[in-house]
């Protein structure tokens, strides 16, 4: 059941239960889920009727955390990330095979 509010703790609780959370961005609302849980990720594809070949974005709390999920990062991209993260910069990076959750 949809709930509307600004309760960050409630959103966190939903994510920890592998449920979806709608979050506002600069331009639209996005759907958030636990990217490390295949069931939660599948819920996003199902809710959006998104084809499974269309990748999702993974957000992390730090640049260091990104290394858990990627094969490598070009030095020029690393400099951009260091300069602009956190902030409105998206990088497309190759994921590790072990991070294929579906």
Each residue's pLDDT tens digit, 51-79: 988 888 888 888 888 988 899 999 999 99
Helix (H) or strand (E) holding 31: strand 29-32
**Which value, in Å, is the radius of gyration of the alpha carbons in the chain?**
15
CA atoms of 20 and 89, how far apart (whole Å): 24
- Find tokens 């993974």 and name the residue: 58
Is the pLDDT score of 101 beyond 60? Answer: no
Contact 85, 63 (CB under 8 A): yes
Q: Across the strands, what pairs with 32?
A: 21
Any idea where the domains of the chain sit in the sequence? 1-56, 61-102
pLDDT in tens, 19-53: 999 988 778 888 999 988 989 999 999 999 999 88
């Amino acid at each position: 059941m949809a709930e509307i509010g600004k309760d960050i703790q409630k959103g966190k609780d939903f994510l920890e239960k592998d449920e979806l959370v709608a979050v506002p961005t600069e331009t639209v609302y996005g759907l958030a889920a636990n990217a490390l849980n295949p069931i939660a990720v599948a819920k996003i594809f199902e809710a959006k009727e998104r084809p499974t070949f269309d990748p999702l974005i993974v957000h992390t709390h730090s640049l260091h955390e990104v290394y858990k999920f990627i094969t490598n990062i070009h030095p020029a991209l690393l400099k951009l990330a260091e300069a602009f993260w956190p902030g409105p910069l998206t990088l497309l990076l190759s994921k590790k095979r072990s991070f294929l959750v579906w």
